[in-house]
Amino acid sequence: MCQLLGMNCNVPTDICFSFAGFRARGGLTDHHRDGWGIAFFEGRGVRVFLDPAPSAHSPVAELVNRYPIRSLNVIAHIRKATQGDIRLENTHPFQRELWGRYWIFAHNGNLKDFAPRLSGRFLPVGSTDSELAFCHLLDTLAARFPAGKPAPAELHAALRELAREIGSRGEFNFLLSDGDWLFAHCSSRLCYIVRRAPFAEAHLADEDLTVDFRRLTGPQDRVAVIATTPLTDNEHWAQIPPGNLVAFRDGETVTLGETATVAQDYPRRGDDRSASA
């Protein structure tokens, strides 16, 4: 299995602290050695750093750790291969363009007997179930909304339906972003934290590294971090209940139409606020 890391903020933020702990799981504190990748949205643009080498020893990861790229939406992935060889084309996150926007996708899980019919508009380049699921997802969205990106509630409802359909084939935790929204689907394991004022210190679970967010943030800053398992050991992370798709924007969960029972029911916002304190 793999590990996911996402970030969604209301001001451009670097992910150096979280990434330091996350990358250690790629061959140092954990066994996800089969490549890694990270995508940073900056405006409508996106840059994706990929490396089929273990993240703990990757010179590209070293760069990402040292070069603070500030972004509103980040998706990262470290891989423990289940389907598809260890090759660059099987390295997450994957990128496609739809409706004049880039879409970035990373998956943790394993889909079995999954062979959706594709129109040909989006085709996988590699051989993972993950990229196939991403193509099916975009293919369906493109066919359903040919005029362009629908309203957020419609998009969320369509993604939720698709996540349920694909998720019936196996474990399907994923992160998806178009640079505006970050969608997090939990099929088995995915948690998040929203950091906002009053900020506090955070200590990594995978490395002995502490950061004092009071020194790095403004009072209006809001940063949501999503990960397969908690990245820090002194903060409260909220588990996303399996079967739910959470929409993040501007560093917080957003209730979208009638589909947003997740954000309303669990986790409650109050939990996050106190957790960051």
Residues lying near its own copies in the complex (CB under 8 A) are found at 42-52, 59-60, 63, 66-67, 87-91, 95-97, 99-102, 120-126, 146
Structure tokens at 45: 């643009």
Pick from 177, 171, 234: nearest CA to 202: 234
Q: Which residues lie below 8 Å from residue 265, measured CB to CB, with a gap of 6+?
A: 241
Structure tokens at 218: 């403004």
Q: Which residues lie below 8 Å from residue 255, measured CB to CB, with a gap of 6+?
A: 263, 264
CB of 253 to its own copies, least distance (A): 26
CB of 263 to its own copies, least distance (A): 29
CB of 55 to its own copies, least distance (A): 14
186 is catalytic: no
Q: Nearer Cβ to its own copies, position 87 or 164?
A: 87
Distances (CA, A) of 114 to 18, 99, 108, 166, 268: 33, 26, 15, 8, 34
DSSP H helical ranges for the chain = 16-24, 59-66, 129-144, 152-167, 213-216, 261-265, 269-276
CB of 26 to its own copies, least distance (A): 17
Pairing of strands 191-196, 238-239: antiparallel
Q: Nearer Cβ to its own copies, position 51 or 171?
A: 51
Please report which helix (H) or strand (E) contains residue 191, including its range. strand 191-196
Query: From CA 176, how far away is CA 83, in angstroms rounded?
Result: 20
CB of 12 to its own copies, least distance (A): 12
> 3-state SS of the chain: helix, strand, coil percent to 5?
25, 35, 40
Q: Nearer Cβ to its own copies, position 122 or 172?
A: 122
3 state SS for 79-99? CCCCCCCCCHHHCCCEEEEEC
Q: Nearer Cβ to its own copies, position 63 or 277?
A: 63
Q: Nearer Cβ to its own copies, position 31 or 44?
A: 44
8 A C-beta contact, residue 277 and residue 271: no
Q: Nearer Cβ to its own copies, position 2 or 191?
A: 2
CB of 79 to its own copies, least distance (A): 13
Q: Active-site residues: which are they?
A: 2
